[in-house]
Amino acid sequence: MKNSIIELTNKLISIPSTTESPQLLSEVLNVAKKGLENYSVEKFSKDGIPSLLFYNTKSRPKKFKVILDAHFDVVPGKDYQYKPYEKDGKLYGRGAFDMKAAAAVEVLVFKEIANKLKYPVALQLVTDEEVGGFKGAKYQLQKGVKTDFIIAGEGTNFGVNNKSKGIIWAKVKTKGKTGHGAYLWNGDNAIWKMKKFIDNIEKAFPVPKKEEWRTSLNLAKIETTNQTFNKIPDDCIASIDIRYIPEDAKTIQKKLKKLVPAGAEIDIMEYEPSHFTAENDFYVNKLRQATKKVTGKLPPVISKHGASDVRHYTDAGMAGVTFGPVGVGLHTDNEWVDIKSLDEYYQILKHFLLCL
């Protein structure tokens, strides 16, 4: 099976399937779906972004027991990264770890055993996870695709990721009064007003010295329309990026608004849910036991700072995790996946599905 996994992964990596190239998104899906002709398939498209849903029943059930989710879009890379190669037991290339190798495994596992299962299972292939998943996984969800449990094959080094941070992107705006820079008493500086907000968020969300599982805030940008030295600025905008833990989901917006000084305005640009599934969930336990059977070690339940498509499903009340093979360097110039772990990943998913 290892050779089949590597062969399919190499074909997938060789296609620079970024969301800026819709034609290549369709091309990579066409490669992935070969050999799945014996399964039912639904084709989805929103704003030119394609996705597929394969399942082992004649018609789509009201709810699947399990969905295997795989995204085939990648962040842009350098030309050489689309020429995969092996070295020291590792497979290198753009998307090797995030997540074309895991996607290849999901496709091959589904192809082999889905028709042997006595319950409804689906394979969800999407092409926009790197830009939010709104036109792939979330669109399918909006079209009625439901499940008891979803696994997205993001690289986790076999950790079972049951919770991830949510996202808030916001702009805070302050207004002042223009005036000559030499006559400060005639104006009202909007940047000094913004400093009050910056002082507040620095105190409420101190920059972590090391990795911590807590809500964090990045001050991404400060801007004003003022372009000269001798003018008092009458406007200022601060752009912030908050990554909040599931434990803060019900309080984070209220806390943020309290930090905005009087007279300033806040505009929430994006508000994406956090991802949470209970550690003692039935499917989480089954997946951990399947991993132990294959690797000999009970995998940890882990938290991740980045988001995935799983959040769309857990936000709708369904359970799910990200779970994938061993690797390093997602979104970097030195991205690789451990080849041995791909064969183990295949066996884990197979055992998990057969034992439900």
* Tens digits of residue pLDDT in 273-295: 999 999 999 999 999 999 999 99
CATH of the domain at 338: 3.40.630.10
Phi-psi region of 207 (alpha: psi -120 to 50; beta: other; left: phi over 0): beta
> What distance in Å separates the CA atoms of residue 67 and residue 32, rounded to the nearest whole number?
16
The domain of 181 spans 166-272
Structural domain ending residue among the three candidates 226, 252, 272: 272
CATH of the domain at 187: 3.30.70.360
> What distance in Å separates the CA atoms of residue 332 and residue 61, rounded to the nearest whole number?
40
Question: What average pLDDT does this structure show over 254-277?
Answer: 96
Q: What is the pTM of this model?
A: 0.91
Q: How high is the pLDDT of residue 2?
A: 87
Give the number of domains in the chain.
2
Q: Are 106 and 70 in contact (CB under 8 A)?
A: yes
Question: What average pLDDT does this structure show over 76-103?
Answer: 97
Question: What average pLDDT does this structure show over 200-210?
Answer: 96
Same-domain check for residues 144 and 233 = no
Question: What average pLDDT does this structure show over 51-57?
Answer: 98
Instruction: Please check the confidence at residue 230 and state whether its pLDDT lies above 90.
Output: yes
Same-domain check for residues 94 and 10 = yes
**CA 289 to chain CA centroid, nearest Å:** 25
Per-residue model confidence as pLDDT tens digits over 108-141: 999 999 999 999 999 999 999 999 999 999 999 9
Q: How high is the pLDDT of residue 334?
A: 95
What DSSP state is assigned to residue 291? H
> What distance in Å separates the CA atoms of residue 25 and residue 18, rounded to the nearest whole number?
7
Q: Are 163 and 303 in contact (CB under 8 A)?
A: yes
* Parallel, antiparallel or unpaired: strands 216-223 and 336-338: unpaired
Question: What average pLDDT does this structure show over 295-300?
Answer: 98
Instruction: Please check the confidence at residue 100 and state whether its pLDDT lies above 90.
Output: yes
DSSP string, 296-312: SSPPPEEEESS--THHH
Q: Residue 90 is encoded by which pair of tokens? A: 């590792």
Share of the chain above pLDDT 90, in %: 98
Same-domain check for residues 30 and 49 = yes
> What distance in Å separates the CA atoms of residue 281 and residue 28, rounded to the nearest whole number?
34
Per-residue model confidence as pLDDT tens digits over 172-191: 999 999 999 999 999 999 99
> What distance in Å separates the CA atoms of residue 185 and residue 170, rounded to the nearest whole number?
31
Structural domain ending residue among the three candidates 220, 253, 272: 272
3-state SS class at 4: helix
